[in-house]
Amino acid sequence: MKILIVYGSLEGQTSKIAHFMKEILLDDNHDVILANVTNNPLPADKFDVILIGSSIHLNSYNPSIKKYVKNNIEELNKKITGFYSVSMAIASNLPEKHQEVNQLTQQFLTDTGWETNRIWHIEGALKFTKYDYLKKMMMRSIAQKEFGPININKDYEYTDWEKVKNHLSQFSSRLKTRLHEQA
């Protein structure tokens, strides 16, 4: 199947996840195009499957992703789609953090009118080496409450790559089954 992965990434983790997903899908013999939302990705009508990823920053998804979804909503709601949401809140052990992410995701889907087939919540990263001083202090303060002592001179990655691989492998298997049923 011809798959488009569109992502919006501020500090690089959502992009890194998109590239990882691409490799898994290529290994499963899919035709995959990867597109950063800021580079005017191809419209959804050129693909069989569209996966869209965005990180959460300041309790909001990437505005360019929201615009892409709205601009392609008719096609997205006709096709097989998936949304992957990247946030540090998912790395938390606090159920209320997970609930907040679920609420943000549902609000995003309601606001855009998108009726996606799959939603994956993926743990993000703390990219202290990319933050300015003020953001380093703010993120350290937040992170220490959840994760303990934090060194602001290094990055911390919380993405569960095995979980991402399992999600994509299951998704790919369903795509292959669907393709065989259509043949």
**What is the predicted pLDDT for the residue at 143?**
84
**What is the predicted pLDDT for the residue at 181?**
63
87 residue type, one letter: S
Q: Are strands 49-57 and 125-126 parallel, antiparallel or unpaired?
A: unpaired
Residue 49 shares a structural domain with residue 133: no
Residue 61 shares a structural domain with residue 13: yes
The model carries a pTM of: 0.91
Q: How far is CA 39 from the centre of its chain?
A: 17
Residue 50 shares a structural domain with residue 133: no
Residue 108 is part of a domain; what is its CATH number? 3.40.50.360
Residue 12 shares a structural domain with residue 52: yes
For residue 8, give Cα distances in angstroms to 84, 105, 176: 11, 15, 27
Residue 144 shares a structural domain with residue 90: no
Average pLDDT over residues 98-111: 96
For the segment 45-55, what is each residue's pLDDT rounded down to a tens digit?
999 999 999 99
138: containing domain: 125-158
